[in-house]
Amino acid sequence: MEISEFIKSGKAVIGIEFGSTRIKAVLVGEDNSPLASGFHDWQNSLDNGVWTYPLDEVKTGLQDCFGGLMKDVKDKFGVELASAAGFGISAMMHGYLAFDENRNLLVPFRTWRNTMTGEAAEKLTAELGFNIPQRWSIAHLYQAILNNESHISKIAHITTLAGYVHFLLTGENVLGAGDASGMFPLDEKGGYDAKMAARFDELTKGTAFDKPLLTVLPGIVKVGECAGTLTDEGAKLLDPTGVFGAGVPFCPPEGDAQTGMVATNSIVPKTGNVSAGTSIFAMIVLEKALAKVHREIDIVTTPDGDPVAMVHCNNCSTDLDAWVNMFGGLLKAAGCDMPKPKLYDTLYALAAEGEPDCGGIVSYNYYAGEEITGLTAGKPMIFRDPEAKFTIQNLMRSLVYSCYATLKLGMDILTKEENVKLERLYAHGGLFKTPVPSQNILSAALGADVTLMKSAGEGGAWGIALLAAYMTRVDKSQSLKDFLAEKVFKGAEGSTVSPDERDAAGVAAFMSAYKAGIAAEKAACGQ
């Protein structure tokens, strides 16, 4: 079938992901490859000490992004995008969106980036015997209860960003297993852990939060099943022009970590992926449970419910981007207004020329707090020995190293203490738009082969679109693993690099100085 006719007949599928700096929509065709896309750039803001996005911006960003997709379809194929066979919503995991019984937002959206829930996270981890990180929804809820915040008696529903957008479009208060696993721990059957929920109810007894926990959490819909259809109100929100109609089936909404796994085909044991952008995280699919609870490692799930060890770091490329912008400003002042893509390529090339240990330059990329290193707030910082070789090459290499340093601390626990084995590790995200030296340094830092797929740049919007495509499969007995292997990634191309011994030794030297300097970072932040 011609692509234009395929789209016109409503057989394509759509995925939209709300990332930390961009909302992206992707239309996927008969062979599961992207056909068209739309974008909307946005940024979180620090409002009274809380990292947040106004919900009005969620709605306007959704419309702008989807409008861009519709225009791209019209420009490329000459047809209107009026319907689809399937639709999916993905977004940044975790965080806190609390609503009353009339769906009024009770407090501003508290995103994953906040580190205000330390007391709650520590208490819940001890009481549940399960690592509860600060960014998890349940930690935010419990901290609000411990703080006796005025809104807690009014809470009727809490959800994630993906769950909120899915509700706006379908009226269904549900999540996929992966996104739900970042709100509250799941059991082996794929539901919320009832024993842990009962213990939470015991902990909150006598407080203003007087509802059983399980009554305020979203429902969970299994991967591959329909999680609702686009309502008339949802269609009007999505496309105010009225061209795109209601009735389109939606797959379960998922977190960005899960759609990243799907987009890199890393959902089977001993595979994993690293996503690097504003934040950085590694998702490693486990063969068996870890020997003990580690505060540095989350246990979440794949979209189909398999256990995953997640090492999540709040900070990645923001500081690197700030330095690139600063150098761009210098060049512009000198009469050389270099386009940003070329500027990045030039500076990355210089980083590749830097000494393996960065010549004694150590940088910290902390814009926000970082749980793995015990920081409740962040301040970007650079220090060097007086005899350090302070060159642009070594500085840039140090900035790239800092993007991976905290991730390495968590990954070392998995590989060295828990002996978790990795056969395949895939990289994706904005940091890998220029593979050298990012891919090589990541391989050296983690001591594993790292593959960058040609399709990796499509990201989570493509990943959730693939989950929507999986929902529409003809053979309902086909597993998600088989669907991805046979229908999406069969014959897919990619480039793989292996750890370089010289780079690995340089990373080790850098990390030694990095760990020693964390005390200075804490002091700078007043800890």
Look at residue 371 in the predicted model and tell me its pLDDT: 87
424 touches 271 (CB < 8 A): yes
Q: What is the pLDDT of residues 279-313, one digit of tens each?
A: 999 999 999 989 999 999 999 999 999 999 999 99
| Out of 31-35, 428-432, 514-518, least confident range | 428-432
Alpha carbons 384 and 132: distance in angstroms, whole number: 36
Tokens for 293, please give them.
Answer: 């609870």
Percent of the chain whose pLDDT exceeds 90: 90
380 touches 326 (CB < 8 A): no
Is 382 a domain residue? Answer: yes
Rg (CA), the chain: 23
Q: End-to-end distance of the chain based on CA atoms, in angstroms?
A: 63
Residues shown for the chain: 527
- What amino acid is encoded at 223 in this protein? V
More confident: 270 or 158: 158
Q: What is the pLDDT of residues 125-158, one digit of tens each?
A: 999 999 999 999 999 999 999 999 999 999 999 9
313 touches 372 (CB < 8 A): yes
Is 468 a domain residue? Answer: no
Q: Is the preceding peptide bond at 212 cis, omega within 30 degrees of 0? A: no
Look at residue 457 in the predicted model and tell me its pLDDT: 63
> How much is the pTM?
0.87
What's phi and psi for 98, nearest 5 deg? -115, 130
161 touches 95 (CB < 8 A): yes
Q: What is the pLDDT of residues 445-499, one digit of tens each?
A: 999 999 988 766 668 999 999 999 999 999 999 999 999 999 999 888 889 999 9
Is 499 a domain residue? Answer: no
Tokens for 22, please give them.
Answer: 């961009």
Residue 80 has pLDDT above 90, yes or no: yes
463 touches 262 (CB < 8 A): yes
Look at residue 424 in the predicted model and tell me its pLDDT: 81
116 touches 107 (CB < 8 A): no
Residue 343 has pLDDT above 90, yes or no: yes
Is 395 a domain residue? Answer: yes
Q: What is the pLDDT of residues 359-368, one digit of tens each?
A: 999 999 999 8
Is 331 a domain residue? Answer: yes
Handedness of CA 361, 428, 248, 243 (dihedral sign): positive
Q: Which domain holds residue 352?
A: 318-403+513-524
What's phi and psi for 116, nearest 5 deg? -110, 5
Decide: residue 36, CB within 10 A, 0-12 exposed, 13-18 middle, 19+ buried.
Answer: buried
Percent of the chain whose pLDDT exceeds 70: 99
Look at residue 456 in the predicted model and tell me its pLDDT: 61
CA angle 300, 306, 309 (to 5 degrees): 40
262-276 burial: b if 16+ Cβ within 10 Å, else e = bbbbbbbbebbbbbb
Alpha carbons 154 and 210: distance in angstroms, whole number: 10
Average pLDDT, integer, range 23-48 = 95
Average pLDDT, integer, range 424-435 = 85
CA angle 219, 220, 226 (to 5 degrees): 105
Count of domains forming the chain: 1
Q: What is the pLDDT of residues 136-145, one digit of tens each?
A: 999 999 999 9
Instruction: Give me the chain's average pLDDT, please.
Output: 95
Average pLDDT, integer, range 411-435 = 88
Is 383 a domain residue? Answer: yes
Closest CA to 133 of 175, 177, 96: 96
Is 453 a domain residue? Answer: no
Average pLDDT, integer, range 174-202 = 97
Is 333 a domain residue? Answer: yes
DSSP code of 488? I
Judged by DSSP in three states, 144 sits in helix
